[in-house]
Amino acid sequence: MTPDERIAFEKRRRQRNWAILLTLVGLVVLFYFISMARLLRG
């Protein structure tokens, strides 16, 4: 793997990691609001 290919690979990996992080945070927020709505409706 050439240095340029390595840099491109690491950039794609970082972008994928950020996408996974944002997806997980979004799911946590969604579940939190669903749980709060169910508790408040009671």
pTM of the model as a whole: 0.78
Render each residue's pLDDT in the chain as its tens digit; 42 residues. Answer: 899 999 999 999 999 999 999 999 999 999 999 999 999 997
- Dihedral angle of Cα 18, 25, 20, 11, to the nearest 10 degrees: 0
The conformation of residue 42, written as its DSSP 8-state character, comes to -
pLDDT of residue 25: 98
pLDDT of residue 42: 73
Backbone phi and psi for residue 2, each to the nearest 5 degrees, phi listed first:
-75, 160
Tell me how far the alpha carbon of residue 2 is from its chain's centroid. 29
10 touches 2 (CB < 8 A): no
pLDDT of residue 26: 98
pLDDT of residue 30: 98
pLDDT of residue 13: 98
